[in-house]
Amino acid sequence: MSTFTEANRQAFDGLSTKYDSEPWRHRMTDQIKKGLHNRKDWIGVRWAESDDLQYGRETKLLDYACGTGSVTKAIGSWVTNIRGIDISENMVKLFNEAAQASGLKTEQVNAVVGDLLGDEVSANLDTPEYQNFDLAVIGLGFHHFENPMRAIERLTERLKPATGVLIIIDFLPFDKDEPAGPQAANAQTIKHGGFARQNMEMLFKAAKLENFSFSVMEEQVEMFGKDGTSSKRSVFFARGRREPTTWGKISKWIGSMQTVASDQWQIGPREQVQAQLGPMGGRIRE
């Protein structure tokens, strides 16, 4: 683990116990939950239906940098399986305690300590359980990452080809070097002072994510530092879909050729007859 990621791990391990008890954080979590709910269709995932579990259809969510589980709590009821990953052991412990207290089984919801962004990925994350997600979300973790491009690439390769969606929830540009406020309190853990739409679009395109879309929450959030000073930030949602595999693209192409051929077969002969009959030649019966 790099020195910077280690600083994040220690900071969030230390923050974990009071993470969910600060009133301003509650307000922010509620605002983002509302933002996600307003964008349920925009996210573009086939959400779980009530009888999916019975028939074995899964909708899998990867909550990356899950913390105590704000994203999971906001949209967990739309999916059948959730895997959380975070570098902070204390955050993961709180995530799992909350899931178990809600009566959820580990097979349904579980978080583990891990880092997908290092030079090597640990073996416990290289199993089918951590592949083929319908949706991966990074909620407010992106500006803490040393290498955002690597984060997008590593999550994209864990999405279902052609349908899997990546959502990044983070802040529009802010002054990360401001001497007061929340950024000052967490200076050693913040790598980027937010992201503009163009940055996000460039990163998503470089990872070959398709259908990029960017949406900013109307209402700003207000964050507080240890010294009581606050700063307001705008929250965005960036979305992209994993491209199909090469085989998927070929099948789609073959499919479209068959459609063209069958359209020609249906329309062609009728138009030819009509042309031979001329404009006054009567109508072909349907």
Ligand X SMILES: C[S@@+](CC[C@H](N)C(=O)[O-])C[C@H]1O[C@@H](n2cnc3c(N)ncnc32)[C@H](O)[C@@H]1O
Contact footprint for ligand X (CB under 6 A): 5, 8, 12, 65-67, 70-71, 85-88, 91, 115, 117, 139-141, 144-145
Q: Please give the angle made by the CA atoms of 132, 191 and 89, to the nearest 5 degrees.
A: 55
Q: Residue 109: which H helix or E strand, with range?
A: strand 109-113
Long-range contacts of 20-26 (CB under 8 A, 24+ apart): 20/68, 20/94, 22/224, 24/222, 24/223, 24/224, 24/230
CA distance 186 to 164: 33
> Quick one: how far is CA 101 from the chain centroid?
25
CB of 233 to ligand X, least distance (A): 12
| Cβ-based nearer residue to ligand X, 62 or 243 | 62
| Cβ-based nearer residue to ligand X, 70 or 243 | 70
| Cβ-based nearer residue to ligand X, 48 or 167 | 167
| Cβ-based nearer residue to ligand X, 26 or 205 | 26
CB of 161 to ligand X, least distance (A): 24
90 by DSSP, 3-state: which?
A: helix
CB of 178 to ligand X, least distance (A): 17
CB of 12 to ligand X, least distance (A): 3
Report the interhelical angle of 197-206 vs 148-156 (nearest 10°).
50
CA distance 272 to 286: 15
| Cβ-based nearer residue to ligand X, 115 or 243 | 115
- What sign results for the dihedral spanned by CA atoms 142, 147, 153, 157? negative
CB of 29 to ligand X, least distance (A): 6
Q: What are phi and psi of 167, to 5 degrees?
A: -120, 130
CB of 109 to ligand X, least distance (A): 15
The first and second tokens of residue 20, run together, are 């969910």
CB of 235 to ligand X, least distance (A): 11
| Cβ-based nearer residue to ligand X, 145 or 204 | 145
| Cβ-based nearer residue to ligand X, 70 or 81 | 70
List Cβ neighbours of 100 (8 Å cut-off, separation of 6 or more).
106
Strand partners, 33: none
